[in-house]
Amino acid sequence: MTQSQTSLNQIELENQLKAIVGDDKVKTDADSLETFGKDWTKIFPPNPSVIVFPKTTEQVQAIVQLANKHQISLVPSGGRTGLSAGAVAANKEVVVAFDYMNGISGFNAMDKTVRCGAGVITEQLQNYAEEQGLFYPVDFASAGSSQIGGNIGTNAGGIKVIRYGMTRDWVAGLTVVTGKGDILELNKDLVKNNTGYDMRQLFIGGEGTLGFVTEATMRLTRPAKNLTVLVLGVPEFEAIMNVLNTFQTNLDLTAFEFFSDKAMRKVVARGDVPPPFETEAEYYALLEFEAETDGHIDQAMSLFETCVEEGWVLDGVMSQSETQAQNLWRLREDISETIAEWTPYKNDISVVVSKVPPFLNEIEEIVTREYPSFEIIWFGHIGDGNLHLNILKPDDLAKEVFFEQCAKVSTWVFEIVEKYQGSVSAEHGVGMTKKPYLEYTRSAAEIGYMRAVKAAFDPNNIMNPGKLIDME
Dump pLDDT digits (tens) for 64-116.
Answer: 999 999 999 999 999 998 889 999 999 999 999 999 999 999 999 999 999 99
Domain ranges of the chain: 3-100, 104-219, 227-336, 343-441
Helix, strand, or coil (residue 388): strand
Q: Is the pLDDT of residue 6 over 80?
A: no
Confidence at 427, pLDDT banded by 50, 70, 90: confident
Q: Which CATH number fits domain 3-100: 1.10.150.130, 3.20.20.70, 3.30.43.10, 3.30.420.10?
A: 3.30.43.10
Render pLDDT for 228-271 as a digit per residue (tens, 0 to 9): 999 999 999 999 999 999 999 999 999 999 999 999 999 999 99
57-70 helix and 10-21 helix, angle to the nearest 10 degrees: 160
CATH number of the structural domain 104-219: 3.30.465.10
Q: Is the pLDDT of residue 4 over 70?
A: no
Amino acid symbol at 356:
V
CATH number of the structural domain 227-336: 3.30.70.2190
Q: How far apart are CA 182 and CA 203, in angstroms?
A: 14
Pick the closest to residue 417 from 398, 437, 399 (CA basis).
437
Q: How far apart are CA 436 and CA 221, in angstroms?
A: 38
Pick the closest to residue 236 from 304, 305, 286, 283 (CA basis).
283
Do 139 and 160 contact (CB within 8 A), yes or no?
A: yes
Instruction: Give 3-state DSSP helix, strand, coil % of the chain, rounded to 5.
Output: 40, 20, 40
**DSSP class of 25:** G
Do 239 and 193 contact (CB within 8 A), yes or no?
A: no
Q: Which residues contact 121 (CB under 8 A, 6 or more apart)?
A: 79, 102, 143, 144, 145, 146, 147, 148
Lowest mean pLDDT among 1-10, 90-99, 126-135: 1-10
Pick the closest to residue 461 from 469, 350, 101 (CA basis).
469
Q: Give the pLDDT confidence score for residue 140 in this predicted structure.
A: 87
Alpha helices in 251-321 (DSSP H): 261-269, 294-309
**Is the domain 343-441 a CATH 3.30.70.2740 member?**
yes
CATH topology identical between 104-219 and 343-441:
no
Predicted structure pTM score = 0.91
Render pLDDT for 280-310 as a digit per residue (tens, 0 to 9): 999 999 999 999 899 999 999 999 999 999 9
